[in-house]
Each structure stands twice: as structure tokens, then as C-alpha cells.
């Protein structure tokens, strides 16, 4: 089965990438030393391992969200950020930075999750129960716009340029020095989100035929909308809480795997998760290996990857239309 082979291939590549990630960093730690139980294994077990797991988890969550978004909106250019939940989660996190949070390491992620929750509720309120896609997309754009403006406002009101720069830096996305605490907080939320997303698989397939046919096949569009909103909200919220804003994964990955997986929306979900995990793990290793004074911000690395991808997409579409 093509499907099985694809998934196994991606899984294998992912495991290899995770190994690379454990080897990546400014300090060289030979594999023989990993479990020796002293400083070297400290670096591996307390710093690089949680970071690797987080990169894979966030990549998987964002990849799967992107696949569901594209299936739900019937648009191969949809991105989890379209719902505005990443914006509202970021606003929550930025608020905690703005009001000063040296109190507890957990405060920023919790604020981010709260922001995501508020975003989800606002979406539900704005879009109503109609299930209309246009209304939904508009509501998401409004939410993204409002969150973005408020975030910019907080940046401009920051008391010192250093505080402003701290906020901006956080927004650019990074996994530097994340710990098991971050993993413990983000992983269950992401897992819950991905389970919700997995339940949409069949309905997304039915939507291939359009909404009327899908409903006649027994799809409950309102339940589907809730699952999508919840799934995307939880996965994106947890990702932002752990690592700031990381874009393009949800957009690029489903695109890349779709032709390999046979175009059926349900078949794209698992490969997107695996490929997303692979992509982000590799990118996060790259930012540590690239020689520079300090680590390249992960969000920037993804954007730099995303732009040429879009150019390639544009050229291919032009050729097809010509």
C-alpha cells in the first residue's frame, strides 16, 4: 500500500532527524557520553531531548492542523493561522511579558493557552452556528486582525526599548532551552487537539463533493466545525505557548505530501503530521548548527523556507495555467 509505505518512510526519516537534533548544538557531545550521567548527559537529557520532542510534537500538530484546515476549507492555501487563534494565543503570551512574569515559568504558556481559548470562543461567537465557510473565514481574519493590532499596541506601549525587543524576539518563535516542564504543559493539549482533528477525517473526505453532497451523505457540518475549531485551536494554542509563532509548517507540509498520499483529505492527515514533525525538527537542528553569534530564530528560519516554496508554487501554477 502506497499509504503505508509513505508513512513508514516519513516515520523513519523523523526518527533520524530526531537523532540529528540530539547531536546538534554549540557544544559537541559525543553519543558515547549521552548516558554517562554527568554534565554531557545533562545537556542531552535536560535540554536537547525535551527540545527535540517539542519540535517534533509542534511540527506534527501544525502539519496536521494545516491538513485539516485545507480539507475543511477546500483550499490548498489554507493555513492554521487563518483562524486567528495563533494571533490571540500570541497576544496572551505577550500580555504576560508586558505585565512582567518573572514569577513563574508557567505563566507565559498559561496566558498563551488562555488567549487561544478566548480566540476559539470569539470565533464561535462571531461565526455563529451557521457553518458557513465565508462567515468563518471572515471571523478568523477579524480575530487575527484584532489580536495583531493589540499585540502591536502592547509593543508600542512597552516602557523601554529593551522590553519591546523582548516581546518582538519572543514573537519570532524559538525552541531554545525549552525544558520538560514545557513538554508536560504543551504535549497533552496538542495531543487532545490532534485527537479532535483525527475525528474529522471522514467528513473531510465527504466534503470533496461539496457541502450539499457531504450533508446528504450524513456529515454533521456543525459537529465538524466544532471539531475543526477545537482541534486547530488547541494545537495552535499549545504550539504558540511553547515556542512563539511558527508559520508555514501548516501551509507547506500538507501541500507537499498531498500528491504522494493520493489527494484524499483523510489520507493526508497522518503524513502531514509526520512530515511536519520532520520539517520542524530539521529546521530546529539547522538553527543550532548554522554558524552565527546567537541561534537563528526558528520562526524566521521557517519564513525563509516558506518564501521560496511559495515562489516555486507560483511558477508551477503559472506553467499549468499557460
Partner 1 sequence: MDMTFDGISLNLRGRQILDAVTGTLRQGRVTVILGANGAGKSTLLSCLAGLRHPDSGRISIGDRDINRLDRLERARMIGLLPQQGDIHWDIDVTALVSLGRMPHRGRWGMSDADHHAIQAAMAATDCTHLAKRKALRLSGGEQGRVLLARILAGEPQWLLADEPLASLDPAHQLDVLDRLKQCARTGAGVAVVLHELTHAARIADDILVLKEGRVIAYGPRDQVLTPDILANAYGVEVHIGTSPAGDMMVVPIRRIA
Partner 2 sequence: MIVLLVLTTPAAARPMRIVSLNPCADAVLMHVADPKQIAAISHYSHDARATSIPLRQALRFPVTSGTAEEVLALRPDLVIAGPHVALPTIHALERQKIALMRLDVAESVEQSKSQISEIAIAIGMPQRGARLNTAIDKALRASAPSDKMLIPALIWQGSGMVPGANTLADELLRRTGFRNMSSAYGLKQWDILPLEHLLARPPRVLFTAGGAAGRSDRMLSHPVIRRLSHRIVISDYAPRLLHCAGPSMIDAVKRLSQVRRSLKANP
Binding-site ranges for partner 1 (CB under 8 A): 74, 202, 205-210, 212-213, 215-218, 220, 262-265
Q: Which does 319 bind (CB under 5 to 8 A by kind): partner 2, partner 1, none?
A: none
Q: How far apart are CA 53 and CA 186, in angstroms?
A: 11
Quote the crossing angle between the two packed helices 107-127 and 85-98, to the nearest 10°. Answer: 140
Q: How far apart are CA 97 and CA 241, in angstroms?
A: 12
Q: How far is the CB of 265 from partner 1 (least distance, A)?
A: 6
Q: How far is CA 30 from CA 22, 43, 282, in A?
A: 10, 11, 19
Q: What angle do CA 151, 155, 159 make, to 5 degrees?
A: 140
Q: How far apart are CA 68 and CA 54, in angstroms?
A: 21
Q: Which does 145 bind (CB under 5 to 8 A by kind): partner 1, partner 2, none?
A: none
- Site membership for partner 2, residue 294 (CB under 8 A): yes
Q: Which does 305 bind (CB under 5 to 8 A by kind): partner 2, partner 1, none?
A: none
Task: Rule CB under 8 A: choose which of 130, 152, 165, 216 binds partner 2.
Answer: 165
Of residues 188-207, those binding partner 2 (CB under 8 A): none
Of residues 29-58, those binding partner 2 (CB under 8 A): 39, 42-43, 46-48
Q: How far apart are CA 271 and CA 168, in angstroms?
A: 33
Q: Which does 26 bind (CB under 5 to 8 A by kind): partner 2, partner 1, none?
A: partner 2
Phi, psi dihedral angles at 131 (to 5 degrees): 75, 5
Question: What residue ranges bind partner 2 (CB under 8 A)?
Answer: 25-27, 39, 42-43, 46-48, 101-102, 105, 108, 159-162, 165-166, 169, 174, 176-179, 181-182, 292-295
Amino acid at each position: 500500500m502506497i499509504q503505508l509505505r509513505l508513512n513508514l518512510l516519513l516515520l523513519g526519516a523523523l526518527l533520524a532527524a530526531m537523532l540529528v537534533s540530539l547531536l546538534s548544538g554549540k557544544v559537541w557531545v559525543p553519543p558515547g557520553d549521552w548516558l554517562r550521567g554527568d554534565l554531557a548527559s545533562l545537556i542531552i537529557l535536560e535540554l536537547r531531548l525535551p527540545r527535540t520532542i517539542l519540535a517534533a510534537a509542534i511540527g506534527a500538530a501544525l502539519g496536521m492542523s494545516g491538513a485539516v484546515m485545507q480539507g475543511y476549507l477546500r483550499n490548498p492555501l489554507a493555513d492554521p493561522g487563518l483562524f486567528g487563534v495563533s494571533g490571540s494565543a500570541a497576544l496572551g503570551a505577550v500580555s504576560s511579558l508586558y505585565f512582567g512574569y518573572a514569577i513563574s515559568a508557567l505563566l507565559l504558556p498559561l496566558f498563551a493557552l488562555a488567549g487561544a481559548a478566548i480566540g476559539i470562543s470569539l470565533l464561535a461567537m462571531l461565526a455563529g452556528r451557521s457553518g458557513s465557510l465565508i462567515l468563518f473565514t471572515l471571523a478568523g481574519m477579524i480575530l487575527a486582525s484584532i489580536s495583531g493590532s493589540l499585540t502591536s499596541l502592547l509593543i508600542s506601549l512597552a516602557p523601554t526599548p529593551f522590553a519591546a525587543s523582548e516581546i518582538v524576539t519572543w514573537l519570532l518563535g524559538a525552541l531554545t532551552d525549552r525544558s520538560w516542564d514545557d513538554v508536560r504543559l504543551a504535549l497533552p493539549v496538542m495531543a487532545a487537539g490532534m485527537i479532535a482533528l483525527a475525528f474529522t477525517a471522514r467528513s473531510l473526505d465527504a466534503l470533496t463533493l461539496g457541502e450539499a453532497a457531504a450533508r446528504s451523505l450524513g456529515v454533521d457540518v456543525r459537529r465538524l466545525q466544532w471539531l475543526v475549531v477545537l482541534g486547530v485551536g488547541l494545537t495552535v494554542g499549545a504550539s504558540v505557548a511553547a515556542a512563539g509563532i511558527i508559520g508555514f509548517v501548516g501551509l507547506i507540509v500538507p501541500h507537499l505530501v498531498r500528491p504522494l498520499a493520493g489527494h484524499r483529505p483523510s489520507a493526508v492527515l497522518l503524513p502531514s503530521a509526520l512530515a511536519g514533525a520532520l520539517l520542524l525538527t530539521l529546521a530546529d537542528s539547522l538553527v543550532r548548527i548554522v554558524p552565527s553569534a546567537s541561534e537563528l530564530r526558528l520562526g524566521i528560519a521557517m519564513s525563509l523556507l516558506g518564501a521560496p516554496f511559495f515562489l516555486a508554487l507560483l511558477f508551477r501554477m503559472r506553467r499549468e495555467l499557460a
